[in-house]
Amino acid sequence: MRKSKISKILMSVFALLLFMTVAPKVHAEKTYTIGTDVTYPPFEFANKDNKYVGIDVDLLKAIAKEEGFKVNIKALGFNAAVQSLQSNQIDGVIAGMSITPERLEKFDFSDPYYKTGVVMAVRQDSKIKGLSDLKGKKVALKTGTAAAAYAQSQQKKYGFKTVTFDDSDNMYNDVVNKNSVATFEDVPVMQYAIKTGTKLKIVTKPAESGNYGFAVMKGQNADLLKKFNHGLKVLKQNGEYKKITDRYLSTDKVNAEKKKSNEHTIGGLLHQNSGVLLKGLGQTLYLTVVGIIAATVFGVIFGLLGVLPNKFARGVSTTVIYIFRGLPLLVLALFIYNGIPSLTGTKIPAFIAGTITLMLNEGAYTAAFVKGGIESVDAGQMEAARSLGLPFGKAMSKVILPQGIKIMVPSFINQFIITLKDTSILSIIGILELTQTGKIIIARNLEGFKVWGIVALMYLIIITLLTWLSKYVEKKMNN
């Protein structure tokens, strides 16, 4: 009986040790952060439930499942994804990225997972039949794509001009609206766009035949690349690869999904996307509030430095205001999110990078009107306070600032409105605010006019409320 108990205890201890040995392996799945585009159907786009799907997304998830690792997919946009990879903010990129000699100098690519080619598309009523008809005319291209590179290689030969866009919808609409006469795009992407309602037609045979690959930085993440290649091979052998591509390239399935959806009406757009639009608006307001608080603290500090009786302090204030007011917000955001990590090797989350960007840019403007508000108070007020024996600090806090704040308050509210609008620029670094949400919805349904109309109305309502608040506060302050 005693031996039996001892045996049970030993068995329990052995089982516990076995569990402790195995358990870490169960939870040791490595998670990789992978960047992708936001507007490149059928390879990556948000479905009607606003979840990211597409050939690239489904393929990556299937390979991750097969190979036993996890992926955190970040929809950044093609250019932002590539820049984030170069600055080590992410581990890899899968975004319909063509394997080219130039890219091979900077990145290591997987085995090709999709063969493609470049075609030219024009309006359905256009008489243009080929590149020879483009002389002196303008064509629309998407920045950073292999299709754009091919078009630019033919530009001198055929004598056409180019205009570039960051997303497919605007590129297509530039042709549909007759601003450009043609566009260049990869075959499956153009075919999918036409099937889903874009009023264009393909007029050339595929050129510059190439392959898409999964990319990592050169000399880095060799293990991830090895897993991708092995998983891709398995999926092709077991038929899962064909199922994934057929899911998005089958004409019948694409048309059936289009018939089921009522998303092409204003009511349908609002019904299916109200949740994600409100979430995007919430992120915009949250970013605005955090940004304006940081900008106010930053601005007040450097604004006060600008009025101190000290040449060095005033010089620092003037320099900071000059630098951060002079830098475009877009450039500053990309420098903080991609440039600094390239130098330091330290990752900066997109929201933190966005907040810092707003703090520096909006804070410089805040510093300028804080400094201006204080300087607008009659100089005799300070002299009178000092003559009564008040030190500089007390004279500033008790006499000058109360009068200056009265002048500054309306400017603070106006700066809040400006900050709200400026958050839209931060979509370039992948922050999922209202503008980025609009881009994602458009990538699925290509209803740019209607979606941007809804987004514009949402911005307008918030800005109108803030403008009324500004006028109300200004009136109260004047009274």
Q: What is the CATH topology of the domain spanning 266-478?
A: MetI-like fold (1.10.3720)
Query: Is-cis flag, bond preceding 42, omega within 30?
Result: yes
Q: What is the pLDDT along the chain (479 residues), one digit of tens a residue?
A: 444 555 555 455 455 544 444 444 444 568 999 999 877 888 988 777 677 889 999 999 999 999 999 999 888 878 888 888 988 889 999 998 889 888 999 999 999 999 888 999 999 999 999 999 999 999 999 887 888 989 999 999 999 999 998 778 789 989 999 999 999 998 888 988 888 778 899 999 998 778 899 999 999 999 999 999 999 999 999 999 999 998 888 755 555 455 455 556 777 777 777 788 888 899 899 999 999 889 988 988 898 888 887 889 889 999 999 999 888 988 998 888 888 887 777 778 888 989 999 999 999 998 888 887 777 666 666 666 666 666 666 666 666 666 666 666 667 777 888 888 888 888 877 787 888 888 777 777 767 778 888 889 999 998 888 888 777 776 776 66
E strand map for 157-277? 161-165, 182-186, 200-202, 207-212, 215-217
Report the pLDDT value the prediction gives residue 8, as an integer from 0 to 100: 54
Report the pLDDT value the prediction gives residue 25, as an integer from 0 to 100: 42
Q: Which residue type, as a one-letter code, is found at position 293? A: I
Report the pLDDT value the prediction gives residue 120, as an integer from 0 to 100: 95
Report the pLDDT value the prediction gives residue 15, as an integer from 0 to 100: 54
Domain 116-210 has CATH 3.40.190.10: yes
**Domain 2-113+213-255: CATH class, spelled out:** alpha beta
- Cα–Cα dist 286/420, whole Å: 10
- Domain boundary assignment for the chain: 2-113+213-255, 116-210, 266-478
E strand map for 144-212? 161-165, 182-186, 200-202, 207-212
What is the pTM assigned to this prediction?
Answer: 0.67
Angle, alpha carbons 274-93-344 (nearest 5°): 105
Fold match, 116-210 / 266-478:
no
Report the pLDDT value the prediction gives residue 401, as an integer from 0 to 100: 66
